[in-house]
Structure 1
Amino acid sequence: MVYRVYAMDFSFYNSMGIYSFEVRCEMLKEIGYDATHLSIWHGERWRDAEKLSSVKQKYGLDVAGVYVVLDLSLGESHPRNEGILKLLETLEGCRLWNWRSNP
């Protein structure tokens, strides 16, 4: 049995800043991971998710998942939540569940 190993990219966020998406993928592939698990945290950085469709071709990595934090107390139109909603509507390879019509 072959086990695939993926890395959540939490270690790429630190007090000095955030590694770019491209550098994170390059580093994970270089040290031998099979997949990445993208941490977007909140919707203001959802544009990194647009790059996920090219990860396999460019870096040879699969995408194991995407981590986001939705703050319901901010409301639907707050930029931190609005980006997450956009992500859910546009993320390639994910089945769309219309949360607005299926409460």
Structure 2
Amino acid sequence: LSQYNVALFHLVNHAWSEALLLLSAGSVIHAMNDEQDLRKFGGLANLLPFTYSMMVIGSLSLIALPFLTGSYSKDLIIELAYGHFSFSGNLVYWLATVGLLVPVF
């Protein structure tokens, strides 16, 4: 679609959300004294409330919850694809729309 600024905006949004999740996972592992057995990770929301809230925010941004940056970047890509009157624009628009509807069903 030749919208490089929008692609970079989406890339940076995705990178920040992923970095937030990876840093939160490192915080959990560090709080558990380098334990990586997932069976021992229950009930950490009370122990690490800030890490828990950061993981929730990062996850909701990645699934494009409205009013978070992931939603703005994905909607902008779909809007620009809809306005790009070519075969590739139509293809990207329909693939993105179907891709957004797949988790609903």
Which structure features the higher share of strand residues? 1
TM-score (norm 1): 0.25
Q: Quick check: which has more Rg, 1 or 2?
A: 2
